[in-house]
Amino acid sequence: MVCKNRMLFKTLVFILLALVTTACEAGSDAKNVSSDNKSEDVVSENKVKDKSQVVVAETVTTTINYEEKFTAYLKDKNISLKSRDVLFDMQNTLNQPFAIMGKAELDIYYNYGFRDFEKTHFAVSIIDEGAGYSDRWVLYFDREEFNDLFQTLKKGGIFVIATGVILKAQYQDGQDELALGMDIAYEANSKSVSSEDNSSVIDVVKEYKEQKGLSLVAIDVLYDIQNHLDKPFLISGKASLDTYYNYGFRALEQSHFAIGVWDESTDEKWVVYFDRQEFSDVFDMMKQSDQYVTITAMIPSSQFEIGQDELAQGLDIMLGTGY
């Protein structure tokens, strides 16, 4: 009887030891799992922190406070008026300089007291962002004094802060947002559209230009027409027959056909007029389908009229080439 009890006691002790060992191993595994999870959480947290830091860094490097630049410009130039102050009170702000900020591009709009300014001044349209809403002004800058600005704008639009003034001598009742450009601050745009260095211009167009001895392209002429009358220049782009006859070319329909060309250097549509007899084969081909063309054009002084748009006489044309 005693022997049996001892055997039973040993068995119970053995079972208890086995249970304790299993529990200890399970606890150790749980700790390891918990430790691993904590390690993963730390890594994940670090990643989130790093990502947050990257986002903040990117925001700082790409944000430009133009309002601060505008305010600094006003203070530096000692200007108290903004374009909006002038817009709604022109007659009481004549001869007083004002500041304007926004995207600027070359323009061909000459009107009111600035109608005869094209020969000495180039036009710059500015979409005014300093007024709190979009409003378009045209400022006229002296061609000699601001030649660097003119060359820069020929390459594309830029963001500017400029000083303008509506002189009493130029002001006319009812005029819109037109002013004389007095000063300007801008950052040069590296984009180029000149046919000399634009990589998209195909070799045949360059060869055509050299063969014809052309030194001008359409963009050289468009924003300085009066100083480039009677001078041949290059137009190249997709073309189709057109029906637009106006200004000094209004009476040419009987003797000339019109070709509308989306010129690549100006991104504008030019209408070029060709003699019907001399270029009859071109007319026949253009009736069949649109063509890429390279053209030698000229604006004759005998046909030029103040205010005309992109109209020219065609001197030569080659089909099947373009930008």
Among the ranges 23-37, 41-55, 252-266, which has the highest mean pLDDT value? 252-266
| Band of residue 286 on the pLDDT scale cut at 50, 70, 90 | very high
| pLDDT tier for residue 43 given thresholds of 50, 70 and 90 | very low
What is the band of 199 on the pLDDT scale with cuts at 50, 70, 90? very low
At 61 the pLDDT is 42
For residue range 218-243, list pLDDT tens digits in order. Answer: 999 999 999 999 999 999 999 999 99
- State the pLDDT confidence band at 31, using cuts at 50, 70 and 90: very low
Q: What is the mean pLDDT of residues 287-295?
A: 93
Instruction: Average the pLDDT over 102-111 and give the result.
Output: 94
Q: Reduced to 3 DSSP states, what percent helix, strand and coil does the chain have, rounded to the nearest 5?
A: 35, 25, 35
| Average pLDDT value for residue range 92-119 | 95
**Residue 208: both structure tokens together:** 């055509």
Report how far apart, in Å, the C-alpha atoms of 50 and of each of 38, 45, 56, 60, 63 are. Answer: 18, 9, 10, 16, 20
Q: What percent of the chain has pLDDT over 90?
A: 63
> Using an 8 Å Cβ cutoff, are 159 and 66 in contact?
yes
> How high is the pLDDT of residue 18?
55
77-85 long-range contacts, CB within 8 A, separation 24+: 77/163, 77/183, 79/163, 82/130, 82/131, 83/128, 83/130, 83/131, 83/135, 83/137, 83/164, 83/177, 84/128, 84/130, 84/131, 84/132, 84/135
pLDDT higher for 22 or 149?
A: 149
Could you give the CA distance from residue 18 to residue 280 in angstroms, rounded to a whole number? 109
Judge whether residue 53 has pLDDT over 70.
no
- Compute the mean pLDDT over every residue in the chain, rounded to the nearest whole number: 81
pLDDT digits (tens, 9 = 90+) for 63-93: 567 788 999 999 999 999 999 999 999 999 9
CA separation for the pair 322, 301 (Å, rounded): 27
Residue 72 region, left (φ>0) first, then alpha (ψ -120 to 50), else beta? Answer: alpha
Angle, alpha carbons 308-245-175 (nearest 5°): 30
Distance (Å, whole) CA 323 – CA 316: 17
Q: Which residue has the higher pLDDT, 217 or 51?
A: 217
Determine the pLDDT at residue 306: 87
User: Is a pLDDT exceeding 80 seen at residue 130?
Assistant: no
More confident residue, 135 or 294: 294
Cβ-based neighbour number of residue 208 at 10 Å: 19
Percent of the chain whose pLDDT exceeds 70: 72
Q: 243-274: per-residue pLDDT in tens?
A: 999 999 999 999 999 999 999 889 999 999 99
Higher pLDDT, 241 or 12: 241
Token digits of residue 244: 């637009």
Q: Which of 310, 298, 321 is nearest to 214 (CA)?
A: 298
pLDDT in tens, 159-180: 999 999 999 999 999 898 999 9
The tokens for 145 are 């004094």
Question: So what's the pLDDT on residue 176?
Answer: 86
